[in-house]
Amino acid sequence: MKDPRGLVTGAWLETHAPGDRLFVNIGGLLLESGERLENITIAYQSWGTLNERADNAILVNHAMTGWSDVPGWWPSMVGPGLPFDSDKYFIVCPNVIGGCQGSTGPSSIAPDGQRYGSRFPSVTIRDMVAAEIAFSDVIGINKYRLAVGPSLGGMRALEWAVSHPERVSAICTIGSSAVATGDQIGTSSIQIRAIKSDPNFFGGDYYDKSVGPIEGMGIARRIAHLTYRTEAEMDVRFGRELQGDDTGRFAVESYLDHQAEKLSHRFDANTYIALTEAMNSHDIGRGRGGVAAALSGISIPVIAVSIDTDRLFPVRLQAEIADLAPLAQELVTISSPFGHDGFLVEVELVGNVIKEALALSQSP
């Protein structure tokens, strides 16, 4: 298999350092909407070496505001001797289509030479996985030992198991679900409304403006971040304390302001909307006879992981996967005071589950 520059895969991998951000073109893709996205670029990063049999690859599916640099958002997980052991495995993480970290998304240049902006088509979880399949073909991976991901990444890992079981030996889905719930859609819709209500949104075509919808996206991020954490943590950590900077702000307000500010420097508002809407569209049973039918048809091992304080993806959602997938292991519930973000914080506990999932997987 050759990469877009004409180098054989082995030589190509040897010429790049672990973690380098690379780009491949996967051509065009017919989306579920019926629209076709052309000339798609996928940005990705990798660690370790793909062996001669190409059977030691792990696919990491990042969360919504994550990106291809796994150590950047999931610390202490990738490297020699770590759960994603780069001495044993070839770990690869592509940025999703619709993203803003190098893969084709709303801020990318369209074939007419202008940024897509409001013209970027709607993408679904299934579209993202179709792009990941095409990406895997380009870099020469026919089958992964494991597909794993949290939140949005878990949705994609589950879609791999349902639609492409021949391409992956096992999956691990963390803090995720088989279908988007009414509560999730409701919370997400408010975030989208906040962005679109920003006077600097300009219907999604703000790239040539001096200021974009930073305030609207900041509000969206503040709302989202509260769903990622827990009431108990916010009360214990901040309570009613004032920030102490003469602004009169509560400390928790300052904390949320900081989270919004951080995201504004690395994320695009249109991508925030596109990926949020993709998560809202998630229904593993759509067109497959329902969720139970889709899950019961999974033919590979599954490990579903929940966080006991997760408000956004409560335990019952992962329990559904563990109960209905025939080869699923017993539900793993991680105890954490950090809610949905527990998968980022409890790296030792999550890492142990990854090792268990890899032990379940078989070489292709």
Residues with catalytic function: 151, 310, 340
Judge whether 336 and 308 are in contact, CB under 8 Å. yes
Long-range contacts of 6-9 (CB under 8 A, 24+ apart): 9/50, 9/54, 9/139, 9/140
Alpha helix ranges (H) inside the chain: 9-14, 70-73, 125-139, 152-163, 182-197, 214-228, 231-237, 251-264, 269-280, 291-296, 315-324, 342-345, 347-360
For the CA atoms of 77, 332, 233, 188, the dihedral, rounded to the nearest 10 degrees, stands at 90
- Distance, in Å, from the CA atom of 300 to the CA atom of 307, rounded to the nearest integer, reads 23
Query: In which residue are the tokens 């770990």 written?
Result: 91
CA dist 33 and 208 (Å) reads: 28
Provide φ and ψ at 130, rounded to 5°: -60, -40
Tokens coding 13: 């991998």
Q: How far is CA 39 from the centre of its chain?
A: 22
Neighbours of 203 (CB within 10 A): 8
**Pairing status of strand 84-85 against strand 78-79:** parallel
212 three-class SS: coil
Cα–Cα distance between 74 and 83 in angstroms, integer? 11
